Structure 1
Amino acid sequence: MTPKTLRLGTRRSLLAMTQSRIVAAELGRSRPDVSIEIIGIETKGDKLLDVPLHEIEGKEFFTAELDEALLEGRVDFTVNSLKDMSIERHPELHTAAIPARAEPHDVIVFGPSGTRKLLHGGTITIGSSSLRRLENIPPFLAQALPHGAGASFADIRGNVNTRLSRLHDPEGGSRHFDAVVLAFAGIERLLGDQFARDEVKGLLSGTKLMLLPLSLCPTAPGQGALSIECRRADRLTTSVLQKLHDPAAHEAVSMERALLIKHGGGCHQKFGATASNHKLLGLILHTRGPTESGMRIDGMHWSIPEPRKCPALDRIAAWDGSAWRNTLTSHRIATGLPENMRGKPVFVSHSRAVDDSMLPSLRSARVWTSGVQSWFRLARLGVFVEGCAEGLGFDHLSPVFSSGLAGLGDMSDWTVLTHKHAENDWLARGCSVLPSYRLERTGGGATDKMRGAIKQATHVFWSSGSQFDELKDLVSHDAVHACGPGKTAVRIRNKGIKPFVFPSKEEWKKWIDTH
């Protein structure tokens, strides 16, 4: 027997109603024989908008009233943002499904006044009440903002559209902010909802976005994921809801929330924890910030491959290609950019691809880069960077690039600044490429000493595809190849070799040490 109508309980905020409509639509596709009635319920967190959540006593600020309606049978299931859910739930309730997760990043939305201050190095007032965000974002912005711009933070509460509206309030007034910090997923969902889209598009007019890197600014555990709950004894409703369950999302948020179980959860925590899935590396968990005891849990955690020795040798001789790359010098082969770059997406593969002649064009373009260190160097040159790939490869950002919020179009819209040896790889993607420099060793190619070291190596870490092309024939056929997760891995695989892929050379070195 299947229920014909299920009552969905949700908060009444614009985002909560949008998320509930998304779930209702998904259920309609998976179970067209079941209709969904959405019932809005006001919660304590919706009423107390003038006090930061960490100053309010108790917990379940956004879920207590929904739980009550569910337990009393006034609704059949509820939809909540998972980050708002406490670890300890009522024993008569259970999570029937965690749907596919949206992008978990935080994003800073700079309003018109904030955008002007970015150009002149002023101090930008940013709205956020999250202790976690206040812990991790300020030190990041100290290096990430261009022109030496500063940042100060002030408390802000309210729904997404309410917070965005304060970017457009009169400057100098008590309600005005230059920027606000929000969850990327929330804005993206609102832009996809027919009832919210026009309002949110209007509020985003004249703004700039900055996607915060998970390595330095991990988010609240569970951010970007939804929790669909029902009564544990209601097997019929559970069976309907389970159609939406996504095992990958469940695995990621379980990894994050395990830290809340270990260290305590809620709005009082200052640490962030975000697990993201990489197609070559699997789940990567970024954590940063102090626990309530004051212990910092900064780091990256992932499933390290099983150590493997070179089959023909009973020893380890590791060769680190990144050390070889440090002996290279760059030679400029192109300068300048087209003048009409305003609003066009540009990917800077390394900050050394940029020279002073390019800065006027880059300052009007939408700039993304490969990692946080290149980001910081570009910021010192006065370039506003929207986000970076965190050393995990351009493709890792594909879901962000294709989103309605980022609005970056397809590859044909991009210009990539890179070195000469990488030109063909990028051209194959269909984008415009400016190879602005080439890398050369002083005195020519590999030295005899270097060749000898490579020939004796049992484990090799390739730092670039061009390095692999130049030196691969020197490596023993039994050697264990490794590299980072970007284009180098693709290049090596195309040659019929399956390398071990690591997030960084440091992680490779740790792996070598476990042998």
Structure 2
Amino acid sequence: MFILFDHIFLIILRNLLLKKIKIVSRSSHLARVQAYKVGAKIQNIYPTMDIEYCSKKSEGDINPNQSISSGEVTGLFTHNISNAICNGEYDIGVHSWKDVPLKPSKNSTIFGTIDRGDMRDMLFIKKKSIDDLKKETLSIFTSSPRRKYISEIILRDLLPFEKAKLSFHDIRGNIETRLKKLNESNLDGLIIAKTAIDRLLSNQYNKDDHDSSSKIKKYIDDFKWMVLPLSCFPTAPGQGAIGVEANNTNHEVIEIINKINNKNVFQMVQHEKSKLNIYGGGCHQKIGVSNWTVNDLELESIQGITDEGLSLNSYKIMSKKKENRINSKRSNAFPSNDNEKKLFSRKHIDSSNVIKELRNSIVYISRKNVLRGTPHIDDSNIVWTSGLKTWKAAAQKGYWVNGTSDSFGESVDFDIDSLSGKTSKKVKLTHLENESTEMDIVPTYKLIFSDKKLSIEERTHFYWMSSFAFDCITEKYPEIKNKIHGCGPGKTYDHILKSIKNPDKVSKYLSIEDWESNFDS
């Protein structure tokens, strides 16, 4: 009893004695915002703590012409701050964690992190470049070897340009400087970390930074933007996360960092960095590694090429439960061939006039056939797709797509509030029978069930592309509800689980191809 009291008393005494801490970051607007975020987390737990915010130029700030892609230097944006932490000049160093080497220094460590921002990259393109859909070359600012390499593989299919080649140009400077350079240049676009834009447009800044945020908003209003999906465009390990550094001997500060640490984010970033480290690590690598969660799924996406020329291309569920499989042959599954996938015919509904009148809305493209006839979508709207296949189909028709739910359903947070401006409502282009609690429905076709005889009584495993398909088939063959079911991770899963009421009989997959890969041929 007395030992416990003494321990509590020592903690209280230590907190009283440590009344002030000094937090240091780089001097940019973004770095200061990140420092304020860490400080706010600390003051939530230690409300009487006095925090002094300081800034220090990094080697990368001092030598802006030094290449970050050569692989000859590490910690270009962090070493100066790490050295100051080691020397005891400051208590806490705040970094964009993607810039921090696996080991900041011999005498300091990243002991924690806070909530992660949006991990995704985004592309800005000048509106006048969009007007010329027959451009032969798109010139894009980025200094990242990873962004250049993945863009060459992925970006053409996401853009509404016919056969544009991509050319890349190095760029340095803070976010405002980069947007200004794009605006004043003859180039077309810029790839940048989305979380930087989100944080700079937030209200977490002091009065001196307000003008900078206003300028950034003005630049963005002159550009088209798209948010690049993690499934095919993974980012630098640690992107969107803030690394909180302390001297290894400063135990009081380490305890404070432990109190604010988001352990789940911390572990994921550690995993990303260790994964990249297998291939050598560093900014010069042409490799993206992203780990994240959607609902209860832990996901990993890897894309790139090693120094030895080994191509990396992986997107998978890390936390997938072991499927309850009685028979594993493909012939025991439904659908087992392309013909069995064609359960419905579709009767077109002309809603082009309704779509044409939409303004300041998020227009959700549920599948590629909803764009039959290429209806006009006003530029005041944001175009969002259900998945990557639908995005590519829309881009081929000439639509500028802003982003995708990446097959996780319409209820997943799009996380675009900082970009969407006056956008208010969401409108879903889909079939007449569809229901949504998230969006207004604009029907563009009617589903007609073929009602043909299906030989499915002996099948053991089923995959469903939609809730409507599940309902139609199980109404006719109710006995199959006791079999093993798979579907995408969106609202179809929720619907099937509600009907079957047994989570052991329903599994989530990234796609039907992901499901099919679990069976023997």
Q: How many Å apart are 1:199 and its aligned residue?
A: 2.8
Match of 1:172 in 2: none
Q: For 1:185 and 1:346, how far apart are their aligned partners in 2? A: 23
Q: How many Å apart are 1:237 and its aligned residue?
A: 0.5
Match of 1:181 in 2: 191
Match of 1:400 in 2: 415
Distance 1:202 1:476, change over 3 A: closer
Distance 1:331 1:372, change over 3 A: same
Matched, 1:417 2:421: no
Instruction: Tell whether the 8 Å contact from 2:71 to 2:282 is kept in structure 1 after alignment.
Output: no
* 3-state SS of 1:297 partner: strand
Instruction: Tell whether the 8 Å contact from 1:110 to 1:207 is kept in structure 2 after alignment.
Output: yes
Q: Identify the match of residue 307 of structure 2 among 292, 312, 315.
A: 292
Match of 2:363 in 1: 346
Q: Identify the match of residue 67 of structure 1 among 79, 82, 85.
A: 82
Matched, 1:190 2:194: no
Amino acid at match of 1:471: I
Q: For 2:64 and 2:360, how far apart are their aligned partners in 1? A: 36
Q: How many Å apart are 1:24 and its aligned residue?
A: 1.2
Distance 1:248 1:141, change over 3 A: same
Q: How many Å apart are 1:416 and its aligned residue?
A: 0.7
Q: For 2:328 and 2:75, how far apart are their aligned partners in 1? A: 58
Normalising to structure 1: TM-score of the pair? 0.89
Instruction: Tell whether the 8 Å contact from 1:322 to 1:463 is kept in structure 2 after alignment.
Output: no
Q: How many Å apart are 1:477 and its aligned residue?
A: 4.7
Distance 1:337 1:394, change over 3 A: same
Q: How many Å apart are 1:284 and its aligned residue?
A: 0.6
Match of 1:83 in 2: 98
Structure 2 gap ranges (5+):
1-13
Q: How many Å apart are 1:99 and its aligned residue?
A: 0.8
The CA deviation string for residues 64-100 of structure 1, in whole angstroms up to 9 with x for no partner, is 1001101110001100011101123323212221111
Alignment map for 1:329-408 (pairs within 5 Å): 329-338=345-354, 339-356=356-373, 358=375, 360-361=376-377, 365-396=381-412, 398-401=413-416, 403-407=417-421
Instruction: Tell whether the 8 Å contact from 1:290 to 1:296 is kept in structure 2 after alignment.
Output: yes
Matched, 1:264 2:280: yes
Q: For 2:516 and 2:278, how far apart are their aligned partners in 1? A: 29
Q: Identify the match of residue 162 of structure 2 among 140, 143, 148.
A: 148
Matched, 1:509 2:516: yes
Q: How many Å apart are 1:176 and its aligned residue?
A: 4.4
Q: For 2:31 and 2:83, how far apart are their aligned partners in 1? A: 17
* 3-state SS of 1:356 partner: coil
How many correspondences in the alignment? 490
Matched, 1:243 2:259: yes
Normalising to structure 2: TM-score of the pair? 0.88
Match of 1:478 in 2: 482
Alignment map for 1:23-34 (pairs within 5 Å): 23-34=38-49
Q: For 2:86 and 2:329, how far apart are their aligned partners in 1? A: 63
The CA deviation string for residues 484-512 of structure 1, in whole angstroms up to 9 with x for no partner, is 11221121123243321111222223334
Instruction: Tell whether the 8 Å contact from 2:103 to 2:109 is kept in structure 1 after alignment.
Output: no
Match of 1:217 in 2: 233
The CA deviation string for residues 265-295 of structure 1, in whole angstroms up to 9 with x for no partner, is 1111001111121114x21101111112211
* 3-state SS of 1:467 partner: helix
Q: Identify the match of residue 208 of structure 1 among 224, 229, 236.
A: 224
Q: How many Å apart are 1:329 and its aligned residue?
A: 3.0
Distance 1:68 1:478, change over 3 A: same
Match of 2:9 in 1: none
Q: How many Å apart are 1:215 and its aligned residue?
A: 1.9
Q: For 1:141 and 1:506, how far apart are their aligned partners in 2? A: 22
Q: For 2:328 and 2:180, how far apart are their aligned partners in 1? A: 65
Q: For 2:420 and 2:487, how far apart are their aligned partners in 1? A: 30
Q: For 2:498 and 2:421, how far apart are their aligned partners in 1? A: 31
Distance 1:112 1:379, change over 3 A: closer
Distance 1:225 1:314, change over 3 A: closer
Structure 1 gap ranges (5+):
170-174
Distance 1:251 1:321, change over 3 A: farther
Match of 2:5 in 1: none
Distance 1:496 1:89, change over 3 A: same
Instruction: Tell whether the 8 Å contact from 1:166 to 1:177 is kept in structure 2 after alignment.
Output: no
Q: For 1:366 and 1:341, how far apart are their aligned partners in 2? A: 10
Q: How many Å apart are 1:362 and its aligned residue?
A: 5.2
Match of 1:490 in 2: 494
Match of 1:39 in 2: 54
Q: For 1:419 and 1:329, how far apart are their aligned partners in 2? A: 11
The CA deviation string for residues 367-419 of structure 1, in whole angstroms up to 9 with x for no partner, is 111122211111111111111122222233x1514x31344755xx1111011
The CA deviation string for residues 160-197 of structure 1, in whole angstroms up to 9 with x for no partner, is 1100112321xxxxx44321111000110010134243
Match of 1:111 in 2: 126
Distance 1:120 1:340, change over 3 A: farther
Amino acid at match of 2:306: T
Q: For 1:90 and 1:66, how far apart are their aligned partners in 2? A: 10
Distance 1:319 1:244, change over 3 A: same
Amino acid at match of 1:233: T
Instruction: Tell whether the 8 Å contact from 2:23 to 2:52 is kept in structure 1 after alignment.
Output: yes
Q: How many Å apart are 1:47 and its aligned residue?
A: 2.0
The CA deviation string for residues 312-370 of structure 1, in whole angstroms up to 9 with x for no partner, is x8999322388433353322023314333344210000010112251x23566321111
Q: For 1:156 and 1:35, how far apart are their aligned partners in 2? A: 38
Distance 1:378 1:408, change over 3 A: farther
Q: How many Å apart are 1:56 and its aligned residue?
A: 6.8
Instruction: Tell whether the 8 Å contact from 1:335 to 1:355 is kept in structure 2 after alignment.
Output: no
* 3-state SS of 1:83 partner: helix
Runs of 4+, deviation exceeding 6 Å: 313-316
* 3-state SS of 1:18 partner: helix
Q: For 1:274 and 1:408, how far apart are their aligned partners in 2? A: 31
Distance 1:68 1:511, change over 3 A: same
